Amino acid sequence: MNFTGAHILSIEQFERADIKRIFDVADAMEPYALRKKVTRVLEGAILGNMFFEPSTRTRVSFGAAFNLLGGNVRETTGFESSSITKGESLYDTARVLSGYSDVICMRHPSGGSVAEFAQGSRVPVINGGDGPNEHPTQALLDLYTIRKEMRSKGRKLDGLRIAMIGDLKHGRTVHSLCKLVRLFSDIQLTLISPKELAMPEYIVEELRMAGNKVTITDDLTHSISDIDIAYSTRIQEERFSNKQEADMYRGRYRLNQRIYTEHCQPNTVIMHPLPRDSREEANELDNDLNQNPNLAIFRQADNGVLVRMALFALVLNVADQVDKYSREVNWHSSLRG
């Protein structure tokens, strides 16, 4: 695809060569993310960060990525601070706010809403999550993490065995990741969830039509013994009609060090899009896994900055100019190690 000026709305718009391009640029961003260098390549550019649904990691990660490229960030959080509460359409909002920004990142609780917004925008729009539909940048950072974790073990993306665990019906991160892995060969996917929270059938069919093997089960311990990646998700309480309904499924698939030792291979990588629900009744990834070297959830979050920096650089057509506007860092940073 031609990234310059493009909206990033869905995994569907990428081909395998596009993924390689994003990941190559993300690799080049590491010195800046680790504070070894500073670049001002986007000096004067403005990111409009519009988050109409609660977010910490995604919102801050987008903002940090833009700042690290030298740009400025303006934020809108929550409907209460937007004229949408006065009846303004997404199209009108887009027409106005795109005049104030060079690129816009948007999260919205309704599926398809970000694409609707993009129709009115005069600048590129990046989907930060639209309801239970998609979360394309999360899928990209997830696959980027998988690639890095597997590369350290001498493995490639093709031929991997991935288990997705938890609320697969409402989890937009796993929806987008499934669409992304269709671009790779011989992927074996094990989808572990309560039957009521199973992966949407159309996504399963798309995976199988792409030649990937898919196993659907509601059993955790017997399904994680022969996998490379255990990708856990929380129960998406905000997608249920009430808390009581969500509580019916909370805590069903808990992974702790004992279960990992007894049922997983020693090098199985543990992932989670975060936030993990650490409340006693949920605790899908126990804190006793924190010292497990294969727990990649925090490396995963760090990788989000690299991938989002890459997308900004590509969409704003400065990927080949980043080093030109760089200099050495003159302050102490613990991130440099």
Q: How far apart are CA 276 and CA 278, in angstroms?
A: 6
Residue 74 phi, psi dihedral angles, 5° rounding: -120, 130
DSSP state string for 138-179: HHHHHHHHHHHHHHTTT--STT-EEEEES-TTT-HHHHHHHH
Among candidate residues 37, 57, 95, 239, the one labeled active-site is 57
List Cβ neighbours of 312 (8 Å cut-off, separation of 6 or more). Answer: 42, 47, 65, 66, 69, 71, 103
In a 13 Å sphere around the CA of 337, the CA atoms on its Cβ side amount to 3
Is 4 among the residues known to form the active site? no
Among candidate residues 59, 107, 179, 263, the one labeled active-site is 107
Among 112, 115, 121, CA closest to 48: 121
Amino acid 140 reads L
Among candidate residues 58, 145, 233, 268, the one labeled active-site is 58
Among candidate residues 7, 59, 108, 135, the one labeled active-site is 135
Is 20 among the residues known to form the active site? no
- Going by the DSSP 8-state scheme, the letter that residue 247 receives in this structure is H
Is 58 among the residues known to form the active site? yes
Among candidate residues 86, 195, 222, 327, the one labeled active-site is 86
Under a CB-based contact definition with an 8 Å cutoff, are residues 169 and 235 in contact?
Answer: no
- Going by the DSSP 8-state scheme, the letter that residue 137 receives in this structure is H
Among 171, 172, 269, 158, CA closest to 213: 158
Residues tagged active-site: 57-58, 86, 107, 135
